[in-house]
Chains A and B, each alone.
Chain A
Amino acid sequence: MRYVDEFREPELISKTAYEICRLASTERHYRMMEVCGGHTHAIYRFGLKDLLPENIELIHGPGCPVCVLPMGRIDDGLSIAQQPDVIFAAFGDMMRVPGTQGSPLEHKARGMDVRIVYSPSDALKLARLNPDKHVMFFAIGFETTAPSTALTMMRAKAEGVRNFSVFCNHVTIIPAIRAILDSPDMRLDAFIGPGHVSTVIGCRPYEWIARNERKPIVVSGFEPLDMLQSIVMLLRQLKAAEAKVENQYKRVVPWEGNRAALRAMAEVFQLRPYFEWRGLGFISQSALRINDRYAELDAEQRFAVPGIRVTDPKAAQCGEVLKGVLRPHQCKLFGRECTPEHPVGALMVSSEGSCAAYHNYEYRKAAMVSLSSIA
């Protein structure tokens, strides 16, 4: 088995899609939210919407760690890197996200030492290879990525590496889901649950969604068959008026999560009392900071940051799109002032941001459909 192609088998996909059509009652309009940006990306990449009946609507959730990062934090990270002999290291996802003075790539064009890394351990390696420079790793991601940052920092401390620090923007998924459900204009029937975050936190943290909010949630994989099977499982629950947590991604997600990963996080991080989420506002206990044991590896402690809050232009409706209240094309700036080439909000910059995904993969299809129905 190669664990990829098998889950893209065309015949099985058609069969599962047919089962969805059979299960979905025509009397109902289903609104299902996929929380995780990776699922948003998968939906568009595999054209899954084309396989679903009209009355199943997929709402894109806020699980895109780049999208929810306020512009001020990008400015802060870049300001540290502006100091002489500092190397700014970050994942490719960050490179085009605009700060008020431009994106990391634009800073690179103006002379800043900016490097793309695939792993936090690559950033640490850069520090070892460049003893006369300081490497600052701009860390982003949910609980999927935070343990890797934590473990890297543990290794750095054990080795006594002095020229390495982390600018920590890790956020946690449960408060984001709570914020969605607390939103007054939110009407959702079910959740397609985060797949890879769940390899770390397990499936228990979602139990309150089923128990208290009475919404079914299925932890889902990312291949076409995974997502379609998850929708089948959600429809079956809805049909039986059930609400429970189910694990569709069993081959990878342990119900209890990954204890070693959680231990690493507990060793290095603690919860910030509150953190600003772009588009969602301040959410308490929703983000991680580096604890005092690792203070010498905390970029925010080693360097002074401006910490200026940058608000989005009033016209940008990132918040409503993040919460699934508006579809991307319903934002007034979509496709006009805000496009992938010149993004106003981060939902348009990150490849898994709802607006970018919709713009790149989908909305011209809608235009084509309406044209052909006129012709």
Chain B
Amino acid sequence: MCLAIPGKIVEISSDNQDSALVDIVGVRRRIDLGLLQDDKPAPGDWVLIHVGFAMSKISEQDAADQMSTLRTLGEIDGAMQEVQGYGLEDVN
């Protein structure tokens, strides 16, 4: 139910729009794009693959947002604590 990994679409089959070749760190396999009919991926897109079917497109933007959230984790709280240390929160 859960083993799904990201792969990059290398090419869409010319004779079957639902079949694509993906590359997963150098391993290649034909996968079925039939579940992404409403949002067809193009070569270069990354998709999540489970049992030979693409389940979802991976959003690079969301991934980048997540990484940046994680990098600043604790920093905002840390900054707040520093401010509290100066006694400034009593101002209000």
Contacts and interface: CB of A to CB of B under 8 A. Distances in A.
Contacts of B34: 151, 155, 260, 264
Nearest to A226: B66
A251 B50 contact: no
Nearest to B49: A119
Nearest to A250: B62
Nearest to A155: B34
A145 B59 contact: no
Given A39-B2, A142-B1, A264-B34, A199 B48 contact: yes
A366 interface: no
Contacts of B32: 119, 121, 148, 151
Contact of B66 (A142, A145, A195, A250): A250
Given A148-B51, A151-B35, A229 B70 contact: yes
A109 B6 CA distance: 35
Interface in B62-83: 62-67, 69-71, 73-74, 77
B72 to A, nearest CB: 10
Contacts of B66: 229, 248, 250-251
Interface string A275-297: 00000000000000000000000
Contacts, number: 132
Nearest to B32: A121
B6 A2 contact: yes
A251 B59 contact: yes
Interface residues of A, number: 55
Given A65-B1, A144-B4, A3 B46 contact: yes
Contacts of B46: 1, 3
Contacts of A41: 2
A6 interface: yes
B56 A252 contact: yes
Interface string B6-28: 10000000000000000001000
Given A91-B51, A120-B51, A197 B35 contact: no
B50 A260 contact: no
A2 B22 CA distance: 13
Nearest to A64: B1
20 contacts: A1-B64, A3-B6, A12-B67, A38-B1, A119-B32, A119-B52, A121-B53, A141-B1, A145-B1, A147-B35, A148-B32, A148-B35, A151-B34, A151-B35, A199-B55, A250-B59, A250-B66, A260-B35, A261-B55, A264-B35
Interface stretch (A14-22, A98-106, A307-315, A340-348): A14-22
Residue among B1, B38, B56, B63 with the highest chain A CB neighbour number at 10 A: B1
A195 B6 CA distance: 14
Contact of B55 (A12, A122, A200, A229): A200
A225 B70 contact: yes
B55 A144 contact: yes
Interface of A: 1-4, 6, 12, 15-16, 18-19, 22, 36-39, 41, 63-65, 91, 118-122, 141-142, 144-145, 147-148, 151, 155, 194-197, 199-200, 222, 225, 229, 232, 248, 250-254, 258-261, 264, 352
A2 B66 CA distance: 14
A38 B50 CA distance: 12
Contacts of B70: 12, 15-16, 225, 229
Q: Which 5 A-B pairs have the closest CB atoms?
A: A38-B2, A119-B52, A3-B6, A251-B62, A251-B63
A332 to B, nearest CB: 29
A231 to B, nearest CB: 12
B5 interface: yes
B3 interface: yes
B37 interface: yes
Contacts of A261: 35, 55
A124 B60 CA distance: 34
A121 to B, nearest CB: 6
Given A19-B73, A147-B35, A38 B53 contact: no
Contacts of A199: 4, 48, 55-56
Given A250-B65, A252-B48, A37 B55 contact: no
A161 to B, nearest CB: 16
Contacts of B37: 260
